[in-house]
Structure 1
Amino acid sequence: GRATGPHLAFESELKERVAKAGLADRILFVGEHTNIPDWYRALDLFIAPQRWEGFGLTPLEAMATGVPVVATDVGAFSELVTGGSEETGLIIAADDLKAMVDAAAAFMDDRPRLAAASANGLSRASKNFAIEQEARAIGAVYESLMR
């Protein structure tokens, strides 16, 4: 994304630390883009490590582009990401680095599981979170208020 206002200094410091660590070729600061689906499609796995989130759409965006998700149990993430036979990813506790590493490894070390979660995520996002469905639901609320 794009850093603004009081966050510009933090971004600059972060870029400096990345460069000093010799990681500038591996950690990219790409700024703001409008072709978000292309960025998601370049991934094998999306990790949402937030400690706090009001709602959070990034796991849903990843799933909508066929990318499995490892996400912390914050915001609505646990309502978006599912396990079991229709697994789309894994939910882990916030601030649990070991759980995050283990969850990522569980997918990256098991290509069939990764592929299944990819297909399941795309199906779940399309079936349950299509914009047309959202528009109909909002329309129904307004219709009920008019009566």
Structure 2
Amino acid sequence: MRVEYQLQVEQVVETLKNDLPMLFQRDIFYDIYTQDIYFEDPVNKFKWKFNYRIIFWTLRFHAQLFFTEIFFDLHDVAQIDEETIRANWTVRGVLRLPWKPRLFFNGYSTYKLNKDGLIYNHIDTWDRKPSEILKQFLEKGGNI
């Protein structure tokens, strides 16, 4: 493995470690992604950095609008092979509703790197279906 490539990958891992826990509070650093980044999660699928920026803006906007508390708990970020990084995380929050329903789900992000060590593919996997997550909005809340 090239030294320059590995140094770039280490920088990407450090950037993800810094960005992800704060993604509901502030914008992320986009220089680690290619222009034609592909993103997919259980409800979205798109390509291009412009759209990628919009999804993160939307997450921050909705977090502030719909939640009194929201957290992106990053458990770990690691390079799992030469061209793959995986981040394990939990999203938890309290919705801004009188019965204070809780949102909680786990997931992981798989990032694929090109030959320059930039992320060109980001796939999120959740531990439950979106419909199961939405059902949480109807339940009376508790502690997060």
- TM-score higher than 0.5 here? no
TM-score (norm 2): 0.31
Larger helix share, 1 or 2: 1
Larger strand share, 1 or 2: 2
